[in-house]
Amino acid sequence: MYPFFYIFISLLCGMAAASGTNIEWRIGAAAAALAVFLRVPRKAAVGAAFLVGVFFAPSFDESSSDLSGEEEYVEGTAGSSEVSGEGYRFTLRTEEQDQITVYTAERPGAGDKCLVYGTLIKPEEARSPFQFDYKNYLLRQNISWQIFADKVECPGERSLRTEFFDRRFEQLHRVGGMGPGGALAAALVFGERSFIEEERINQYQLLGVIHLLAVSGLHVGLITAGVWLLLVRIGITRETAAVILFLLMPLYIVYAGAAPSVIRAGTMTMLALIFLLSKKKIPLLEIYSVTGILYVLMQPSVIYHIGFQLSFVTSAGLILSTGILKGHGFSLMMKVTFAAQLVSLPLIIYYFYSISLMTFAANALFIPVISFIVLPLSFAGVFIEPGFPWGAEWVFSRVETCMYILHQWLDMLEFFPGHLITSGKPLPVFIIIWYTFILIGFIIWDKRKKWAAAALLSALMLLVPTLLPVLDKHAYIHFLDVGQGDASVIELPGREAVYMIDTGGLVKYTEEGMELSRNGPGKQVVLPFLRGRGIDKIDALIISHGHADHMGEICYLSSRISIGQVIYPVSETVPEIVTEAFACLEENDIPLYFAGRGERWETGNSRFHILHPTNSENWSENDRSIVLKAELEEVTFLFTGDIEEAAEKELGKHPELLKTDVLKVAHHGSRTSSTETFLNASAPDTAVIQAGVDNRFGHPHEEVVERLESNGITVYQTNLHGTVTMKVKEGVLETLSFFHDKEGS
């Protein structure tokens, strides 16, 4: 029996049951706690642990802040700074214990007492399914406000803590700037990945080797063993070496970035050293459990940190599998790799919606090279850098050589077609069932020595979420909230095909002129949505016309998801931004078709008809928009791009074609569109307006909304409702808005 392990599980269950993100997680946590209670003899202990968990459950209440938002400045203590864009980001803690995320061009020292001048604003919340919720992310760290600072003043003397963090920050940035090898060393030693190219980070994540960049048990174990051997070799007794390591470990935890994985590994090491000094043999699982208990009681909100969940779940799985993980050398390493990936798989899919079949192959080379070559070299380079920067550069060049070989391996694996399985986000109950199957698989592996059975059980469970869309006979139409722009996704019944109309796009204005943002809705909204829905291919991407807010994300999306073809309106000339997008399509071997009035196609029982444009008129770019009529499950939808009054008059010549059930309102609800004549001809029951919150154009205009409502049309606006989803089957239409659905859950 392992009493502390069961107490730890009950504690976590109590916290999750009291503060779970939805009812399924709460019921699942309560059921797991009941199973533990019935399983163990020490029922009083685990019952008390559950109640303590309920009492300590993290609460995220933004109304608890003492700040009103009207303050001209705030005063508090600065935390450690991180690079953010062209400036810095740090957390400011006031005397009233309010925490504020500060963005500034000036970097204060950690521990400095500072005055921060600027306007307090609330963090942005997610407005679309599967979008990263920055507001919720900060709230779970008890941060309710942020400031883009005009000025930061930090008078007073600098503390020892400030000097320590300053030295760490300065060395981190010196090391990170020493080429690709230094950038990797910054991740492995300091836990800072920002120096590595974003595309490479995405590849690491895609192929399942990103965990090697997290400072974790592997790193702590290697540095502890190295320092231990060094101290013993120079004549220090084992007991004294243990004391020295115990005293140095908190310093290393902070120096390595204090992520949940390094805190877990460091604390476990410290507890193991205590038991070593006391001459007591304590099972590793109990050391792990005591570490977890202390951690979550001191920082309850950490239970919602992805790093914490992956670190503790994977560690528990490996510790409990010691009977299976036997052998030596490469064989043992591969068994550990396989077991760790199997245990972490459900969580990875729950948070990232996909898994690569090449993950095991990628780790087979990455783990030994990183563990026994790159990691020791990185520590050596960082250690000698302050005194011998030229020596550090030489060491990091050797790291770069190793990584070149590894990257060639990853590039080859990524080339394999069909290696990425996009499952979509599974329901919480599926995760619980999946872990049950993994447990059964491990038992089979242990008792019958058939490791393949464990893999087969997990593989079968992986197929379930990928099959669900095929069995779903509803059609779905999603009007995505991409800010001031358009992007819609159509899923046909049984996932026969997926069509996308426009991509959205965010334009930035700089001294050099207008340019597309690299952090636009393609990255923030569209791709997470597609992956969260389990969509790995768009059969046709229909671009209504050549404006950035409708097609600005073509290059981003075409390099990250399969696109069967792109359809663009017939035109003799195209804007420069469209020419650049066409080059991206050619680079990714995506066929391009020009379409105009009269084009039709059918997929299953779904029919599509392009009503506009013709190539016989000198249309403006807005009026050249493709107008698409779609009939899905006996319900009609009219997508109108950005057409204005001239195109509406042309379409009005054939009013019999315009009749529709749902209208995607043209031009974001501009007063130059949606004339009374056009609305009478189309006669929709429901209308959707895609416009950005507080956009500078004033869309949608009040008179347009009034005109729609006066015609008895139900109006949804993405600037008010977030992403709007319509679910259709056999003529029955159900509409869900993101914020309404979010409140309902």
pLDDT digits (tens, 9 = 90+) for 168-196: 889 999 999 999 999 999 999 888 888 99
β-strand pairing of 87-93 with 99-104: antiparallel
- Which residues are CB-contacts of 161 (< 8 A; sequence separation ≥ 6)? 110, 111
Could you give the CA distance from residue 461 to residue 468 in angstroms, rounded to a whole number?
A: 12
Over residues 700-722, the pLDDT tens digits come to 999 999 999 999 999 999 999 99
**Residue 743's pLDDT is what?**
45
- Asked if residue 671 has pLDDT above 80, the reply is yes
Contact (Cβ atoms closer than 8 angstroms) between residue 689 and residue 736:
no
- Asked if residue 19 has pLDDT above 90, the reply is no
Could you give the CA distance from residue 615 to residue 637 in angstroms, rounded to a whole number?
A: 24
**Residue 453's pLDDT is what?**
63
Could you give the CA distance from residue 199 to residue 559 in angstroms, rounded to a whole number?
A: 11
Q: Is the pTM of this model over 0.85?
A: yes
Residues linked to residue 568 through DSSP beta bridges, in sequence order: 594
Q: Which two tokens stand for residue 327?
A: 């052998």
**Residue 112's pLDDT is what?**
87
Q: Which two tokens stand for residue 7?
A: 């107490």
Over residues 510-528, the pLDDT tens digits come to 666 677 888 899 999 999 9
Contact (Cβ atoms closer than 8 angstroms) between residue 557 and residue 531:
no
Residues linked to residue 515 through DSSP beta bridges, in sequence order: 508
Contact (Cβ atoms closer than 8 angstroms) between residue 462 and residue 430:
no
Q: 213-217, 374-378, 551-555 — which is least confidently predicted?
A: 213-217
Closest alpha carbon to 259 in 221, 309, 208: 309
Collapsing DSSP to helix, strand or coil, 121 comes out as strand
Collapsing DSSP to helix, strand or coil, 268 comes out as helix
Which of the pair, 342 or 350, is modelled with greater confidence?
350
Beta strands in 583-622 (DSSP E): 592-595, 600-603, 606-612
* Single-letter residue type at 79: G
Could you give the CA distance from residue 224 to residue 672 in angstroms, rounded to a whole number?
A: 69
**Given pLDDT bands bounded at 50, 70 and 90, which one contains residue 282?**
confident
Could you give the CA distance from residue 5 to residue 293 in angstroms, rounded to a whole number?
A: 9
Could you give the CA distance from residue 274 to residue 519 in angstroms, rounded to a whole number?
A: 48
- CA geometry: angle 209, 211, 217, nearest 5 deg: 135
The domains of the chain are located at 3-57, 63-158, 166-207+364-418, 215-308, 321-357+426-468, 475-744
Contact (Cβ atoms closer than 8 angstroms) between residue 465 and residue 477:
no
Q: Which two tokens stand for residue 190?
A: 């300091």
**Residue 448's pLDDT is what?**
60
Q: Which two tokens stand for residue 212?
A: 């090697």
Q: Which range, 4-8, 147-151, 686-690, has the best average confidence (pLDDT)?
A: 686-690
Is the C-alpha dihedral spanning 58, 64, 69, 74 positive or negative? negative
- Rounded mean pLDDT, 604-608: 95
Could you give the CA distance from residue 278 to residue 272 in angstroms, rounded to a whole number?
A: 10
Closest alpha carbon to 640 in 686, 689, 583, 607: 689
**Residue 493's pLDDT is what?**
96
Contact (Cβ atoms closer than 8 angstroms) between residue 120 and residue 96:
no
**Given pLDDT bands bounded at 50, 70 and 90, which one contains residue 110?**
confident
Over residues 306-316, the pLDDT tens digits come to 888 888 888 88
Percentage of the residues of the chain whose pLDDT score is greater than 90? 47
Residues linked to residue 508 through DSSP beta bridges, in sequence order: 515
Over residues 576-603, the pLDDT tens digits come to 889 999 999 999 999 999 999 999 999 9
- Rounded mean pLDDT, 199-223: 83
Could you give the CA distance from residue 260 to residue 215 in angstroms, rounded to a whole number?
A: 9
**Given pLDDT bands bounded at 50, 70 and 90, which one contains residue 251?**
confident
CATH superfamily of 63-158: Nucleic acid-binding proteins (2.40.50.140)
Which of the pair, 514 or 671, is modelled with greater confidence?
671
- Asked if residue 609 has pLDDT above 80, the reply is yes
**Residue 434's pLDDT is what?**
82
Q: Which two tokens stand for residue 511?
A: 């001294």
**Residue 32's pLDDT is what?**
87
Which of the pair, 102 or 443, is modelled with greater confidence?
102
Angle between helices 428-448 and 451-471 (to 10 degrees): 160
Closest alpha carbon to 479 in 272, 609, 630, 345: 630
**Given pLDDT bands bounded at 50, 70 and 90, which one contains residue 451?**
low
**Residue 456's pLDDT is what?**
67
**Given pLDDT bands bounded at 50, 70 and 90, which one contains residue 505?**
very high
- Asked if residue 745 has pLDDT above 50, the reply is no
CATH superfamily of 475-744: Ribonuclease Z/Hydroxyacylglutathione hydrolase-like (3.60.15.10)
**Residue 333's pLDDT is what?**
76
Q: 294-298, 442-446, 648-652 — which is least confidently predicted?
A: 442-446
Q: Which two tokens stand for residue 266?
A: 């460091």
Q: How far is CA 176 from CA 72, 79, 88, in A?
A: 36, 21, 16
**Residue 576's pLDDT is what?**
86
- Asked if residue 382 has pLDDT above 90, the reply is yes
Closest alpha carbon to 343 in 305, 374, 315: 315
Could you give the CA distance from residue 745 to residue 739 in angstroms, rounded to a whole number?
A: 10
Could you give the CA distance from residue 566 to residue 610 in angstroms, rounded to a whole number?
A: 14
Collapsing DSSP to helix, strand or coil, 546 comes out as coil
Neighbours of 202 (CB within 10 A): 12
